[in-house]
Amino acid sequence: MKLFDVYPLYEIEPVKAKGCSVWDKNGTQYLDFYGGHAVISIGHSHPHYIKTISDQLQNIGFYSNSVLNQLQNKVAEKLGRLSGYHDYTFFFCNSGAEANENALKLASFTNKRHKVLAYKKAFHGRTSGTVAVTDNPSIISPFNASHQVEFVGLDDLETTKSILSKGDVAAVIIEGIQGVGGIHVPDNTFLTGLLEICTQTGTLLILDEIQSGYGRSGKFFAHQFAGIRPDLITVAKGMGNGFPVAGVLISPAIEASPGLLGTTFGGNHLACAAAQSVLDVFENEQLIKNAATTGAYLKHRAREIKGVKSIRGLGLMIGLEFEPEIVDIRRKLLFDHHIFTGYSGKNTLRLLPPLCITIAEIDHLIDSLKIITENLN
């Protein structure tokens, strides 16, 4: 059987990884400024991560959610403490889309409404509801298009207010920082105003922190720069450092009842071991602080690069928008300088390195970018 051909692939096959580097099958080392799409948080193959998951596998790897699993409580307790949300509850699942799907469903269960408000350029996943609230018609099938969704410009509080004031919107969903859309940080006053109008109109606020959460912004969650506390917060990517684990932080105002949500694999023993070890390393190695300081350094040095017209983002979620299209810059970074990066649209280089990145590694990226851009026509 062949693979269903949906991914445009680079001819590189990583077989080994450590810290912020990966090696291909020919032994070539690559510096990872992409983090496998913001997934690698504590660094590749961290010894504590390997040991915790290996030890767990020796005991029990999986059993169903119909029996006790204290590992889930331990992860939820530590996540609550490190994120400042100890009074919220946590629902485990397996992927970002699934976390958002459950958050949308919970909002609608709570206020019994159908409609959702989302933002232009948003990306929230590819399952039924999440792709419907994603602003990209090319990935929305007719089946998904029957959801009731309105898209508004990011930071447009007036239009948001006029839609929510009708009182028929179940939830507003918004990314902590728009990732796929090009690294756009919502304004702090917009977020505080948004929470206020949601509260006044009985609309639930869902913060999608799947890419921007877990320390990437330099705080545990990007929305914490605005000092707001949303009703639902979704997490995935960095939570498992590559192990598929995700979930929803749920406000104490929302009550659980048996059977309301469910999953076969969510919160299994191996996933909990991965999630626990990630939080241990966050705490022991002060990775959120490192994301803040190294990210600020990267943004400062990015000003030296020719052709950069805008530098956006927080912490280690950074977009460098270039005057020219970046396809050549990315190819040269990858094939000549052996550095992985991401992109958003034709002009924006997206940098999402592991949160343990060093100043020396950032210097290497900037020096490589300077060489490449000096030689561009």
Ligand X SMILES: Cc1ncc(COP(=O)(O)O)c(C=O)c1O
Closer of 95 and 368 to ligand X (Cβ): 95
123 binds ligand X (CB under 6 A): yes
Closer of 275 and 305 to ligand X (Cβ): 275
Q: Binding to ligand X (CB under 6 A): which residues in 167-226?
A: 175, 179-180, 208, 210-211
Choices 42-50, 120-128, 141-149, 288-296; region in contact with ligand X by CB under 6 A? 120-128
Identify the H or E element spanning 331: helix 327-335
- Considering only 125, 193, 240, 342, the residue that binds ligand X (CB under 6 A) is 125
Cα 91 to Cα 102, 134, 174: the distances in Å are: 9, 23, 19
Closer of 177 and 305 to ligand X (Cβ): 177
Cα 225 to Cα 187, 189, 190, 239, 292: the distances in Å are: 10, 10, 12, 20, 12
Q: How far is the CB of 363 from ligand X (least distance, A)?
A: 28
316 binds ligand X (CB under 6 A): no
Sequence-ordered list of residues with C-beta below 8 angstroms from that of 25, at least 6 positions apart, any chain: 13, 15
- Considering only 56, 69, 95, 224, the residue that binds ligand X (CB under 6 A) is 95
Q: How far is the CB of 94 from ligand X (least distance, A)?
A: 8
78 binds ligand X (CB under 6 A): no
What phi-psi label fits residue 165: left (phi over 0), alpha (psi between -120 and 50 degrees) or beta? alpha
97 binds ligand X (CB under 6 A): yes
Question: Which residue lies nearest ligand X, judged by its C-beta?
Answer: 96
Q: For residue 236, which phi and psi values (nearest 5 degrees)?
A: -160, -120
- Considering only 124, 216, 312, 330, the residue that binds ligand X (CB under 6 A) is 124
> Tokens 């699942």 correspond to what residue?
93
Report the candidate in 95, 222, 123, 119 with the shortest Cα–Cα distance to residue 180: 123
Q: How far is the CB of 121 from ligand X (least distance, A)?
A: 11
> Tokens 């929803």 correspond to what residue?
248
Choices 57-65, 118-126, 139-147, 280-288; region in contact with ligand X by CB under 6 A? 118-126
Q: How far is the CB of 323 from ligand X (least distance, A)?
A: 26
Residues forming a β-bridge with 233: 207, 249
Q: For residue 149, which phi and psi values (nearest 5 degrees)?
A: -135, 140
**Whether 236 contacts 210, CB under 8 Å:** yes
Residues at the interface with ligand X (CB under 6 A): 95-97, 100, 123-125, 175, 179-180, 208, 210-211, 236
